Amino acid sequence: MNTTSLRITLVTETFPSEINGVANTLGHLSEGLRTRGHQVEIIRPHQAADERSKSGDQLLLCHGWPIPRYPGLQWGHVSVHKLIRRWRRSRPDVLYIATEGPLGLSALRAARRLNIPIVSGFHTNFQQYTHDYRIGFLTRALTGYLRWFHNRTALTLVPSATQRHTLERRGFDRLALLSRGVDSQLFSPARRSAALRESWGLGPDDIALIHVGRLAAEKNLGLLKRCLDTLQLDYPLHRLRLVVIGDGPQRGALAQQTPSAVFCGAKRGEELAVHYASGDVFLFPSLSETFGNVVLEALASGLGVVAYDEAAAAQHIRHGHNGALAMPGDEMAFIEAAGGLVGDSEALRRVRLNARQHARRQGWGPIIEQFETQLRSACQATAQPVGGFAIKPGSSTLHG
């Protein structure tokens, strides 16, 4: 077993303490690598939570500007020449580029000029968001850019088999799986709070329909109201409450559409875990996920998860055993799957027990070990040209 410590540079536009699936994943991966003895340098935009913007041996904060319709997140920017100077003084063994914006592009160009191995991660389906934001005419151009970007790295890591299949069909090369884990000690049914449920207006036998995530157009949130309305008609003797945890540009519209719902805002850490555990059924209507970390968090919390059969749900849920699945895009099947849990208390109890048992086996340890192996493999293959053309070390030009 190779125990040599690596110098790893992680380049990303989002990182804890920001609240999203990419930041959560990168936080676990970077901390796990450090625990295994590696040096991890983070290059990211300055965050509001940072005390001051500065550069350090293990952290380079760069300038950023807001991403439209994504308050709190930023595009990062740093010059190629600044990165080249930095990496000539202290050369990383390998880069992991998690985002494909201006910051990631600068890192890609600088690393290729220095012949530093690059692994990239496909964390977000930006090309799919174009339809949700009514700029569908950009889909082809954005897909082309993402393919160009990732095909110029030694390896692109994707979180699910469905995502890998989709990208393979679109001409992405050298794809490998790197799944996600969950902290099943943090997310646990043991954190259920009767007091919190009472604040939602629910008693022990009532049903809290939980949704956790960013409240944005690409999350297909309109299905939450349609599902709630149908379930209330089909099961009039059940007291149901929709509880929404998260924030984003669609919060106001969703609250106006569903005045009976409880909107809790964004939560993190133990407070988030208590909110999960105090629910009963987790509704996840998104069709735009590369994975969906919240699915594993809900399973670990012992919830009956209802989701479309793709990404994390396809990987971790067996319909009727530890959750309920619907074919992607079939709204009636999604609502019927939710009804199968709401209307059958014994089925819901069984599914929730199985969900917890499955999630307890999905820790981060093996995933971090696999990530380390993938980074080492990229280092060993660095002498080979990638992306269809060779790079001359120290050259200022990409030769294709």
Tell me how long the chain is: 400
Each residue's pLDDT expressed in tens, for the chain with a length of 400 residues: 567 999 999 999 989 988 888 999 999 999 999 999 999 999 998 876 665 444 445 888 887 767 666 655 667 878 899 999 999 999 999 999 999 999 999 999 999 999 999 999 998 865 454 454 455 556 788 889 999 999 999 999 999 998 999 999 999 999 999 999 999 999 999 999 999 999 999 999 999 999 999 999 889 999 999 999 999 999 998 999 999 999 999 999 999 999 999 999 999 999 999 999 999 999 999 998 889 999 999 999 999 999 999 999 999 999 999 999 999 999 999 999 999 999 999 999 999 999 999 999 999 999 999 999 999 999 988 655 544 444 333 333 333 2
Question: Which pairing describes strands 281-284 and 262-265: parallel, antiparallel, or unpaired?
Answer: unpaired
**How high is the pLDDT of residue 125?**
61
**How high is the pLDDT of residue 400?**
29
DSSP string, 254-311: HHHH-TTSEEEE---HHHHHHHHHT-SEEEE--S--SS-HHHHHHHHTT-EEEEESSH
Q: What's the fold here for domain 7-181+364-380?
A: Rossmann fold (3.40.50)
- Residue 3 bridge partners (DSSP): none
**How high is the pLDDT of residue 241?**
97
**How high is the pLDDT of residue 51?**
54
Give residue 105's identity as a one-letter amino acid code.
L
Rounded Cα gap, residues 190 and 197, in angstroms: 14
Supply the pTM of this predicted model.
Answer: 0.88
The ranges assigned to domains in the chain are: 7-181+364-380, 189-359
Rounded Cα gap, residues 199 and 105, in angstroms: 47
Domains 7-181+364-380 and 189-359 share a fold: yes
Judge contact between 388 and 151, C-beta under 8 A.
Answer: yes
How many Cβ atoms are within 10 Å of 252's Cβ, its own excluded?
Answer: 11
In this structure, CATH architecture of domain 189-359: 3-Layer(aba) Sandwich (3.40)
Rounded Cα gap, residues 125 and 120, in angstroms: 14
Q: In whole angstroms, how far apart are CA 81 and each of 65, 104, 341, 392?
A: 20, 14, 57, 16
Rounded Cα gap, residues 214 and 168, in angstroms: 28
Structure tokens given for 212: 């956790």
- Single out the residue of 33, 54, 53, 45 nearest to residue 72, CA to CA: 45
Q: In whole angstroms, how far apart are CA 361 and each of 281, 295, 299, 370?
A: 21, 14, 11, 16
Rounded Cα gap, residues 188 and 273, in angstroms: 7
- Single out the residue of 239, 129, 123 nearest to residue 178, CA to CA: 123
Residue spans of alpha helices (H) in the chain: 21-35, 80-89, 102-113, 126-132, 139-150, 161-169, 194-199, 222-234, 251-257, 269-277, 293-300, 311-316, 331-342, 345-359, 365-380
Tokens 């009767």 belong to residue? 194
